[in-house]
Structure 1
Amino acid sequence: MMTEMHEIVSVLPVVRTCGSAVEAQELQSVAGSSDKGASWRLWLVEMIVLNLVMIMWNTDNMVLPAVYTEIARHFSASPKDLASLGLVRGIFESIFAFPSGFLADKLPRPLLVWLGSVIWGAALVGVTFSPSLSWMIFFRALNGVGLGIVQPLLFSLVADKSDARGRGKAFGFLQFSGSMGQTAFTAFATGIASYQIMSMAGWQFALVIVALLSVVVGTLCVLLVRDHRDQDPRSMMAIVREETPKLGSIVCLPTFIIIIGQGVFGTAPWFAFSYLTMWLELNCFSHSHAAAIIACFNIGGALSGIVGGVLLDAVVRRFPDHGPPGLAQLAVFASVPLFATILFGLGGLDNRSPSSFVVYAMIFMVTGTMISWCTVMNNKMFSDIVPKEAYSYVFALDIVVEGTLGALGQPLVGWLTDDVFHFNAKSANSQDCSPDNAMKLGQGIFAVSGVAFSLCFMFYGMGHFTYPRDRKVAARKLNCSKGAAESDGQVN
């Protein structure tokens, strides 16, 4: 009996020890789950803030073209005069995108995003209260400086915070949120453009609201978004001197050259599309109807980001080498007939009737959905062919080349409209609508976009030959670096 009792007692500590171990494992599991939940919530907050930045970035880009008709009347300007606003914004945006890649090695990217938003917000206030078109052009150039600093950093942060399998959806949702926010703000600006609000013209009031919200969102970014990269201890001059030669390896990638090449032409139509609100109003649509139709186009663009991102991730699983360039070709192939239908195929409709408004709204939405997902494809291909630490540089280089040359699309439309198709600015600005001048403006828009989209299609076709090879080379380098890191860890 005593022996049995001794055996039972001797077992008790063991049982207690096992129980403690189980409890410890359970506590660790709960703690791990809690950490994962907290980490996921932080990631969600960061992605929401980054999407808010994209909304304000897109809005700042497009809110001024949304009120071009009122600005033209305010300054007695022609389409060629207004083209200078888009040109200087595009050029300065592109020039200042490039140094942001170097600055990101020295300073936290959220801080730089805040700085860019403050610059573009302050400049937009200057645009709002400019006493002349020349001053407006000056402040629009300064506005481009802030926009240029932010965009490559925003894309690189989103790429960093998403894995390769979900990157299509991440960029798709970024485009979706940016387009939806832009839709709301530009519709608001166009709708109130002709009213008087608080001793300001309606279009001026709208620009001030956009400027203030841009600064608020930039502040949220610096407060809530983390940059996990270690800051480079080198001086800025040392970073520029040592990192610039490395960019040569990126610039020489065939896929990079092809994406940049198509972007030089593919960006031009989007600058040209800034005249679409003006074109609709010249075609006898009211401010509110023109705003609603452009809103449908932007909603289509937003849906395109989601559709394109989800479609990309699905297609890439089966066709990893040809999915991205093939989907991009589909978008640019559809662009030419769709815009031919919009600009020339609906001329027999009475644009003052409700049925015409519905037809235009539907076609604009379909067009926006079909042609807007190329950015998602480009960002996916970029992130597949360059190392993670080079994301800021590659997005900056893309913006520098595409934005600088693509910005010529808007003045080219202005020149064609005024000097080739003989747009009559005096007649257009003195009437509520002018279908004859709308036709001339439409011819200018289509001449630029039709040629540009055709060239884009050919460039993306070459991507079927270069992207598979560049993607596999980058994947091999990544696997080799991971293997070397694991070997070092085992040795240590």
Structure 2
Amino acid sequence: MRDPDAEAASRRRWTLVLVNLASVLEKADEVLLPAVYKEVGAALGASPTALGSLTLCRALVQAACYPLAAYASARHDRARVVAVGAFLWAAATFLVAVSGSFVQVHDLQPGLHPGGSFGVLLAPITFLGVAGWRVAFHAVAVISVALGVLMWLFAADPASPVAKPSKTAASATEEAKELLQHARRVLGVTTFQIIVAQGIAGSIPWSALNFSAMWLELAGFTNWETSVITGLYLFATALGALFGGLIGDPVARRFPNTGRIALAQISSASALPPPPSCCWRCPMTRPPAWRTPPIFAEIVPEKARTTVYALDKCFEAVFASFASPIVGVLAERVFGYKPVSSDTSVDTDRENAAALAKAVYTEIAVPMAICCLTYTFLYCTYPRDRERARKELLMASDDHLGGEASDDNESSVVHTRVDEESSVSSLNQRLIS
């Protein structure tokens, strides 16, 4: 017979691996279309503004899904929720691959970063008469289905509602009310409001960088070179996140009130782009290393963490989704971008690359500066909100311990009374006999 502890440990390892793979694949799905903007634009006759509107639609649908995911996670196995999400984005990705017009792609763009270089690499290739960018979408859809099946079969939610009868017994209305209460409570935290404000400003540049692969191709890089550069950029982004996480905890222990904030501010300041003349040559910034999830974990109760993450992602995604269309509008209306066709000259491509670089630079410099300055307000609010959350946790802990002690006292009183009644009954029996 297999050891239950060993089986549970194996299940946890599977869950960890699959959840991380799901996160990677979600990001791949998000960047797949921007990676082939140039090819899709030429094939479907779409301008940068129209291409940016595709990303806008995806981001809006994604933002609408965050509250739904939070509600579903409260009632169902979260691993199954992720699996269903994988199935849904696989279906949408497949439909984009078979679309024959811009309108169809616009309507079917999925709502839920390796896919970027993968899409660029396959973009100029044709398999059995099928364009390479369509093959890339088909491949991501198939992998998403496979991952969804693995998530459904092997992943397990460590806090599954199945193990909590009281949670599953609650009605949908009660849980919806509880979710709204958590949302109102989270929205009232000043630190959360500031983090959302900086997140909105800080996420706009990364949405603008959806045009980076298109810019590289217009600037004269081959698809292979573009895929390598895009892959290196995504790899550097991952390293930046890892580096920020590794130094974030020691800095927070050394400077509990200011450590994480200063680290985030330094990172956002380092992401400010060089002057426009340099940006024309490489319109990409360094990856961010700020870590807001640890701050969220310290300013709200544990049961409200899913809500705070969902709300933060929702607000950021909604506002950042408008960055891509704005880049297209700036490039076309302000900086003179000309529509791309299959017979466009090299000189036109270079002029379009310069116009696109200027638009991307504008979308990076201003929002990132605002993001860096907004972090300053956290020096006043974060220590106060963190201390308040700690006091609430201690009070809840004391109430819980007090309730258990009260139950123990009541139980001892009952046992004492039973013992006394038993002794009196025994004495009466002896007297009668």
| 2:254 match | 318
Q: TM-score, normalised by structure 1?
A: 0.77
Q: 1:98 aligns with which of 44, 48, 67?
A: 67
Deviation (angstroms), 1:188: 2.3
- Mapped to 2, the partners of 1:236 and 1:482 lie a distance apart of 27
- Mapped to 2, the partners of 1:67 and 1:110 lie a distance apart of 31
Q: 2:12 aligns with which of 43, 52, 66?
A: 43
Report which of the two has the higher share of helix.
Answer: 1
Deviates more, 1:221-230 or 1:101-110: 221-230
- Mapped to 2, the partners of 1:320 and 1:43 lie a distance apart of 31
- Mapped to 2, the partners of 1:109 and 1:238 lie a distance apart of 19
Q: 2:79 aligns with which of 83, 107, 110?
A: 110
Percent identity at matched positions?
27
- Mapped to 2, the partners of 1:283 and 1:323 lie a distance apart of 41
Q: In 1, are the aligned partners of 2:124 and 2:131 still within 8 Å (CA)?
A: yes
| 1:52 match | 21
Q: 2:145 aligns with which of 215, 221, 234?
A: 215
- Mapped to 2, the partners of 1:223 and 1:489 lie a distance apart of 38
Say whether 1:258 aligns with 2:174. Answer: no
SS in 2 for 1:430: coil
Deviation (angstroms), 1:245: 3.2
Amino acid at match of 1:453: M
Deviation (angstroms), 1:36: 6.4
- Mapped to 2, the partners of 1:437 and 1:132 lie a distance apart of 23
Q: TM-score, normalised by structure 2?
A: 0.87
Say whether 1:436 aligns with 2:383. Answer: no
Q: In 1, are the aligned partners of 2:265 and 2:372 still within 8 Å (CA)?
A: yes
CA offsets 1:252-303 (integer angstroms, 9 cap, x no match): 1011001111112111111110000001111101111011111111010011
| 2:369 match | 454
- Mapped to 2, the partners of 1:422 and 1:203 lie a distance apart of 27
- Mapped to 2, the partners of 1:71 and 1:339 lie a distance apart of 30
SS in 2 for 1:337: coil
- Mapped to 1, the partners of 2:237 and 2:277 lie a distance apart of 18
Q: 1:225 aligns with which of 155, 180, 196?
A: 155
| 2:220 match | 284
Q: In 2, are the aligned partners of 1:283 and 1:438 still within 8 Å (CA)?
A: yes
- Mapped to 2, the partners of 1:99 and 1:339 lie a distance apart of 42
- Mapped to 2, the partners of 1:245 and 1:429 lie a distance apart of 58
Say whether 1:372 aligns with 2:288. Answer: yes
Q: In 1, are the aligned partners of 2:95 and 2:108 still within 8 Å (CA)?
A: yes
- Mapped to 1, the partners of 2:58 and 2:154 lie a distance apart of 29
| 2:210 match | 274
- Mapped to 2, the partners of 1:340 and 1:44 lie a distance apart of 47
- Mapped to 1, the partners of 2:217 and 2:311 lie a distance apart of 37
Spell out the pairing of 1:186-225 with structure 2 (5 A cutoff).
186-225=116-155
Say whether 1:397 aligns with 2:347. Answer: no
Q: In 2, are the aligned partners of 1:72 and 1:429 still within 8 Å (CA)?
A: no
| 2:419 match | none
| 1:481 match | 396
Q: In 1, are the aligned partners of 2:273 and 2:364 still within 8 Å (CA)?
A: no
Say whether 1:383 aligns with 2:352. Answer: no
Q: 1:249 aligns with which of 157, 177, 185?
A: 185
Q: In 1, are the aligned partners of 2:182 and 2:304 still within 8 Å (CA)?
A: no
| 1:335 match | 271
- Mapped to 2, the partners of 1:480 and 1:415 lie a distance apart of 53
- Mapped to 2, the partners of 1:429 and 1:326 lie a distance apart of 50
- Mapped to 2, the partners of 1:380 and 1:61 lie a distance apart of 25
Say whether 1:76 aligns with 2:68. Answer: no
Q: In 2, are the aligned partners of 1:301 and 1:372 still within 8 Å (CA)?
A: yes
- Mapped to 1, the partners of 2:213 and 2:222 lie a distance apart of 10
Q: In 2, are the aligned partners of 1:282 and 1:428 still within 8 Å (CA)?
A: no
Amino acid at match of 1:390: A
- Mapped to 2, the partners of 1:226 and 1:310 lie a distance apart of 27
- Mapped to 2, the partners of 1:114 and 1:453 lie a distance apart of 35
For these two proteins, the number of residue pairs brought into alignment is 399
CA RMSD of aligned residues (A): 2.2
- Mapped to 2, the partners of 1:386 and 1:136 lie a distance apart of 40
Unaligned runs of 5+ in 1: 1-30, 148-181, 347-359
Say whether 1:469 aligns with 2:399. Answer: no
- Mapped to 2, the partners of 1:299 and 1:443 lie a distance apart of 25
SS in 1 for 2:375: helix
Q: In 2, are the aligned partners of 1:90 and 1:403 still within 8 Å (CA)?
A: yes
Deviation (angstroms), 1:418: 0.6
SS in 2 for 1:424: coil
Deviation (angstroms), 1:486: 3.0
Deviation (angstroms), 1:384: 1.5
Deviation (angstroms), 1:239: 2.2
- Mapped to 2, the partners of 1:198 and 1:66 lie a distance apart of 22
Deviation (angstroms), 1:186: 2.4
Spell out the pairing of 1:5-24 with structure 2 (5 A cutoff).
none
Amino acid at match of 2:370: L
Deviation (angstroms), 1:465: 1.3
SS in 2 for 1:117: helix
CA offsets 1:386-421 (integer angstroms, 9 cap, x no match): 112112211111122111111011111111011111
